[in-house]
Structure 1
Amino acid sequence: MSRFVLAIDTATPAVTAGVVRCDESGDEVLAERVTVDARAHAEQLTPNIVGALSDAGLAADRLDAVVVGCGPGPFTGLRVGMATAAAFGHALGIAVRGVCSLDAIAAGTTGDVLVVTDARRREVYWGRYRDGVRVDGPAVNAATDVPAGAGAVAGSPEHAALFELPRLAPVYPSAAGLVAAVADWDVEPQPLVPLYLRRPDAKPPAAPR
């Protein structure tokens, strides 16, 4: 029996939406729309979802699940993707599963791989993987403080270049990677929890003395 999954991610500059069919023979990406613009998450996500559904020839009410990247990433980007995923799940009465966005980039890689994305402030979000399975992280550090030991690096090209390692192709979370990052479809999905990994910049005003 086929399962139709809407996969979305806004944890990086890529605003990703895709439709994936999952069955006993494997996963097939039916359609995917990606817009790379760090300032257009809110504007581009819904059009990309609508476009991907149209490209796949699938009505929204035929979706069986939603998978969303939960970061690590900046507050605004994560909020857009996760709120949209939750809204689709509520409206359609289907499960919403959150996954680590770094896991989606690492999906399908082999060997010891470091995945990095932009954390701003001259830092990177990172995770280490062995054959696509996370063995360390996610965490946020300056590139010089990321533990050594990986044999290759994937993720943000600008930040992957900070490491003297062979570069792998995955740059942003893909629809296929997001679906592959779901550990067990038979387990009840947990509440969505964003991976900010650092305190928000905005702070409540101090109480008057």
Structure 2
Amino acid sequence: MTVVLAIDTATPAVTAGVVRRGPSGVDVLGERVTVDPRAHAEQLTPNVLGALADAGLSMADLEAVVVGCGPGPFTGLRVGMATAAAYGHALGLPVFGVCSLDAIGVDTEGDVLVVTDARRREVYWARYRDGVRVGGPAVDAPADVPADASAVAGSPEHAALFGLPQLPPTVPTASGLVRAVDWDTPPEPLVPLYLRRPDAKPQQQSARP
């Protein structure tokens, strides 16, 4: 059995949960989710502490950390990933990064499209078959996303654009984050999935005369 802290800040939802993982599956001991796209930094630590309190555990009981690495906006991802790395360093725990879309798609059945808000009238998306990713992740305008799936999950507002039956979950969950990890593979360095080039570009130096 492994007690895992799972966090995600890749969407407007600030997810933090404490999950016990064992041979029979995962058991969510405590979970706090706050939907506020402008409060990732303010809400993440309170949600972590609240989930631990709900589970009746302390930081000393944790044995691993899982964090969603996007796709998502720079600011949101930075909060979650930096926090996960800090917990791992301070507590001496392995930190596993997963695709945040996988944390939604892993809890679906059938041929499902998962979408989240990418802003700029675009969506982040990936395609799943019985919980396994078979396409994406990518970022596109909704009209350019292959929508020949049987259902759609993720952001309700954006899922509604595809005219498909909508399924839960709507945001990354603690259970989904833990289930998305390949536990047979050692953790690798955390790499954010931005899927876009930065808006700010360095100014080119003018050629000297």
Structure 2, gaps ≥5 residues long:
none
Q: Alpha-carbon deviations, 1:75-112, whole Å to 9, x = none?
A: 00000000000000000111000000000011221110
Q: Determine the C-alpha separation between the residues in 1 that align with 2:42 and 2:107.
A: 30
Q: Determine the C-alpha separation between the residues in 2 that align with 1:63 and 1:205.
A: 45
Count of residue pairs the alignment pairs up:
207
Match of 1:37 in 2: 36
Normalised to the residue count of structure 1, the TM-score between the two structures is 0.97
Q: Determine the C-alpha separation between the residues in 1 that align with 2:202 and 2:178.
A: 37
From 195, 199, 202, the equivalent of 2:200 is 202
Which deviates the most, 47-56 or 129-138?
A: 47-56
Structure 1 position 148, deviation (Å): 2.8
Asked whether the 8 Å contact 2:147–2:162 carries over to 1, the reply is no
Structure 1, gaps ≥5 residues long:
none
Match of 1:152 in 2: 151
Match of 1:90 in 2: 89
Q: Alpha-carbon deviations, 1:133-179, whole Å to 9, x = none?
A: 00000000000000132100000011001101111021000000000
Alignment map for 1:17-32 (pairs within 5 Å)? 17-32=16-31
Match of 2:185 in 1: 187
Q: Secondary structure at the match of 2:163?
A: coil
Match of 1:164 in 2: 163
Normalised to the residue count of structure 2, the TM-score between the two structures is 0.97
What is the alpha-carbon root mean square deviation over aligned residues?
0.9
Does 1:111 pair with 2:110?
yes
Identity across the alignment (%): 76
